[in-house]
Amino acid sequence: MITEIIRYQIDPAEAASFIETYREAMAIVDETGFALSWEILQQDEDTSLFHIIIRWQSREAHLSGFRQSSSFARFFAKVKPYFQSILEIQHYSNK
């Protein structure tokens, strides 16, 4: 398993739209079976900060499976408007 963490800074006025869009996008990911689970976290102290946490079966399932699938284009079309708000994207392994 590998965990992908995407950190966003979103205008609080856009937060509800961001959350709904990401839920729709992650429903597309769910259809593929490559991800094990996911969650959307919003910071309490600074509500403009979000973490998207996606637990993939493996790095290959994410990068070669999902990203090479026809579902990726549908996913990317949904989340693309928020890409300029990404602060960081990293992959983490469980130890």
Say whether pLDDT at 95 is over 90: no
**Which long-range contacts link 33-38 to residues 24+ away (Cβ below 8 Å)?**
34/61, 34/62, 34/65, 34/66, 34/69, 35/61, 35/62, 35/66, 36/1
Give the pLDDT score at 74.
Answer: 97
The domain total for the chain is: 1
Task: Give the structural domain span for 36.
Answer: 2-93
Average pLDDT on 6-29 reads 97
**CATH code, domain with 9:** 3.30.70.100
Give the pLDDT score at 48.
Answer: 98
* pLDDT tens per residue across span 30-84: 999 999 999 999 999 999 999 999 999 999 999 999 999 999 999 999 999 999 9
Is 15 within 8 Å of 33 (Cβ atoms)?
A: no
The pTM (predicted TM-score) of the whole model is: 0.93
